[in-house]
């Protein structure tokens, strides 16, 4: 399958998905800045990217913002969210519009295509079935469609993609267990990890409830990661590493409120996959300048930079690197170190990680 053969046209025009253009500087480097160009070509991985945040904004939402429950910036078309709860409700709305397999293939293909424009050689993509009503009863079919899109994307753009099945912090325990049952029975090659996302503030402390599911996934040879320290404080990050025993923490930035935890993350080399623009857009931090990524990094914590939900926040991986470089005064050695963490902490195969690290070393002019 090639994506160029895939049509997004649906029988019902009101449910046609339309791609919304990215902000001008998000996908293509401004020719005038050499640093932006260098950042785009810097070999890297993206390890925190939600499938749900890669659904093109749909005609219904654009025509009828009230129905979508959000307003759109009149200049950029980027939706504005008050907080995480409103954002997650929007995902339910937009993902419900994805009802046929060609749309799913297209979304997957586009992830690989966009990744290549940011110098991303591998992406770990999180998908959370609670947002996809049309596919909940056919997860095998959903993953098969995603697989086809990613395969075509890899063939055309050289980007490898792994999937992380995500549970939801607020879903019923029996439903989470059923998803893990499915994963361990079906074991699609493409799905390499178990994750948990959603709203920790709404769910309360859930680490102990998810622990047995994460233990099962680990015993079955799956990787693990968890959202924490975004809608929870440092205690959520502690639970993720001490109770869920995850390899990587998604966000994790509120660890900064607990110096002992920061020291532990640094000492144990637990990577945080940080998403600066997302944190600003969802009101977790007041501005990029106030983002704790720099404090965490200089305290020795391994951080990578990611988009979280690029189409909804109007960002790209290269743009995250470029904006942080500008805001925090990072030079090429800092950006190279962050790219290295992104590759080393990814769930790509060991061979692929070696390949990307070797590309990175070549790019930085280092001999391996
Ligand atoms: N699902 C998609 N983006 C998310 C985020 N930033 N936090 C929690 N769940 C999410
Ligand atoms: Zn996320």
| pLDDT tens readout for residues 215-243 | 999 999 999 999 999 999 999 999 999 99
Atom 2 of ligand 1 has which residue's CA nearest to it? 50
Cβ < 5 A residues, ion ligand 2: 308
200 is catalytic: no
Task: Provide the 3-class DSSP secondary structure of residue 167.
Answer: strand
Classify residue 186: in a domain, yes or no. yes
230 lines ligand 1 (CB under 6 A): yes
CA of 34 to the centre of ligand 2 (A): 30
What CATH code is carried by the domain that includes residue 255? 3.20.20.140
**Measured from the CB, is residue 250 less than 6 Å from ligand 1?**
no
8 Å CB contact between 234 and 257 = yes
Ligand 1, pocket-test mutation among 197, 272, 311, most atoms within 8 A of CB: 197
pLDDT number for residue 29: 42
pLDDT for the residue 76: 82
Nearest CA to ligand 1 atom 10: 198
* CA 250 / ligand 2 centre spacing (Å): 6
At 11 the pLDDT is 30
- Closest-lying ligand to the alpha carbon of 83? 1
Residue 306: CB partners within 8 Å, gap ≥ 6? Answer: 46, 47, 48, 49, 273, 274, 275, 317, 320, 342
**Residue 231: which residues within 8 A CB-CB, separation 6 or more?**
84, 199, 200, 201, 202, 284
CB of residue 53 inside a 6 A radius of ligand 1? yes
Q: Is residue 9 part of a domain?
A: no
What's residue 277's pLDDT? 98
Nearest alpha carbon, ligand 1 atom 9: 198
| Cβ-Cβ contacts under 8 Å for 312 (sequence gap 6 or more) | 53, 57, 78, 79, 81, 87, 90
Neighbours of 34 (CB within 10 A): 9
How many domains, the chain? 1
Helical (H) or strand (E) element with 125: strand 120-127
Domain-located, residue 5: no
Answer yes or no: is the C-beta of 227 below 6 A from any ligand 1 atom.
yes
Q: Which domain holds residue 335?
A: 35-364
pLDDT in tens, 261-297: 999 999 999 999 999 999 999 999 999 999 999 999 9
Q: Is residue 152 situated within a structural domain?
A: yes
122: left (phi over 0), alpha (psi -120 to 50) or beta: beta
Q: Residues 46, 230, 235, 344: which is the catalytic one?
A: 230
Q: What is the mean pLDDT of each run of 10 residues along the chain (368 residues)?
A: 32 41 42 74 98 82 65 85 94 91 96 98 98 97 98 98 98 97 98 97 93 98 98 97 98 98 98 98 98 98 98 96 98 98 98 98 86
**Does ligand 1 have an atom closer than 6 angstroms to the CB of 308?**
yes
Residue 137, number of CB atoms within 10 A of its CB: 9
Measured from the alpha carbon of residue 131, the closest ligand is: 1
For ligand 1, mutation pick of 124, 200, 230 (most atoms within 8 Å of CB):
230
| Cβ of 197 below 6 Å from ligand 1 | yes
Mutate to test the pocket of ligand 1, among 49, 84, 90, 252 (most ligand atoms within 8 A of CB): 84
The ligand whose atoms approach the alpha carbon of 87 most closely is 1
Would residue 19 count as lying in a domain? Answer: no
pLDDT at site 28: 47
The length of the chain, given as a count of residues = 368
Ligand 1 center from residue 88 Cα (angstroms):
7
């Amino acid at each position: 399958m090639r994506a160029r053969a895939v049509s997004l046209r649906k029988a019902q025009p009101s449910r046609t998905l339309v791609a919304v253009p990215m902000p001008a500087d998000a996908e293509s480097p401004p020719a005038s800045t050499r640093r932006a160009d260098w950042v785009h070509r810097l070999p890297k991985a993206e390890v925190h990217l939600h499938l749900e945040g890669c659904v093109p904004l749909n005609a219904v939402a654009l025509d009828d913002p009230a129905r979508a429950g959000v307003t759109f910036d009149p200049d950029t078309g980027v939706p504005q969210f008050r907080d995480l709860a409103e954002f997650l409700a929007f995902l339910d709305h937009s993902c419900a519009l994805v009802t046929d397999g060609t749309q799913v293939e297209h979304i997957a293909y586009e992830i690989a295509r966009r990744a290549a424009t940011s110098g991303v050689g591998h992406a770990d993509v999180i998908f959370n079935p609670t947002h996809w009503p049309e596919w909940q009863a056919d997860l095998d079919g959903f993953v098969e469609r995603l697989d086809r899109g990613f395969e075509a994307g890899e063939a055309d753009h050289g980007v490898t993609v792994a999937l992380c099945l995500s549970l939801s912090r607020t879903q019923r325990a029996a439903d989470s267990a059923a998803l893990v049952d499915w994963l361990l029975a079906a074991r699609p090659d493409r799905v390499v990890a178990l994750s948990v996302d959603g709203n920790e503030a709404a769910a309360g402390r859930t680490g102990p409830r998810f622990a047995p599911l994460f233990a099962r996934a680990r015993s079955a040879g799956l990787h693990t990661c968890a959202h924490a320290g975004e809608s929870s404080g440092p205690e959520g990050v502690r639970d993720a590493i001490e109770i869920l025993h995850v390899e990587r923490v998604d966000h994790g930035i509120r660890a900064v409120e607990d110096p002992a935890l920061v020291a532990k993350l640094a000492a144990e080399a637990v990577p945080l996959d940080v998403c600066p623009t997302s944190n600003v857009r969802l009101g977790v931090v007041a501005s990029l300048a106030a983002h704790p990524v720099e404090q965490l990094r200089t305290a020795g914590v391994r951080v990578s930079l990611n988009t979280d939900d690029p189409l909804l926040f109007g960002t790209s991986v290269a743009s995250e690197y470029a904006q942080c470089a500008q805001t925090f005064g990072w030079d090429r050695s800092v950006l190279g170190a962050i790219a290295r963490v992104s590759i080393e902490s990814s769930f790509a195969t060991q061979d692929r990680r070696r390949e990307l690290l070797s590309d990175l070393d070549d790019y930085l002019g280092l001999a391996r």
